[in-house]
């Protein structure tokens, strides 16, 4: 599914740094220049929250795309994050990316 999301985002005209199956792999790449980060909550080695926290510190907008979103938990930890739950809705993700890319 991560590859489907990658292809869909690339078809919308964006470059994609991932997907990353593990938290450590994603942490190694958080210093890039990003319009936004599309994150699944559960990766192979744990929850993505350490990655999300580092990206948030850098001012990168977060989009959680996951079947494991507990809305209240994610919303309280990352109140400015957007949520696009699974199953994939390519129109919703593209719309959020366009909005974030256009933001000052």
Question: What are the domain boundaries of the chain?
Answer: 2-102
| Per-residue confidence (pLDDT) for residue 96, from 0 to 100 | 85
- Please give the average per-residue pLDDT across 79-97, as a whole number: 81
Question: What element of type H or E holds 43?
Answer: strand 42-43
pTM above 0.95, yes or no: no
Strand order in the sheet with 82-83: 37-39, 62-64, 82-83
Residue count of the chain: 104
CATH topology of domain 2-102: Rossmann fold (3.40.50)
Confidence band (pLDDT; 50, 70, 90) for 68? low
Structure-block tokens of residue 6: 């990658």
């Amino acid at each position: 599914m991560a590859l489907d999301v990658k292809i869909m985002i690339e078809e919308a005209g964006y470059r994609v740094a991932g997907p990353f199956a593990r938290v450590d792999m994603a942490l190694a790449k958080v210093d890039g220049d990003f319009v936004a980060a599309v994150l699944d909550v559960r990766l192979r080695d744990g929850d993505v929250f350490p990655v999300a926290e580092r990206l948030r510190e850098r001012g990168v907008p977060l989009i959680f795309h996951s079947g494991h979103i507990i809305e209240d938990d994610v919303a309280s930890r990352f109140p400015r994050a957007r949520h696009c739950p699974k199953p994939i809705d390519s129109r919703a993700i593209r719309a959020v990316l366009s909005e974030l890319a256009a933001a000052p």
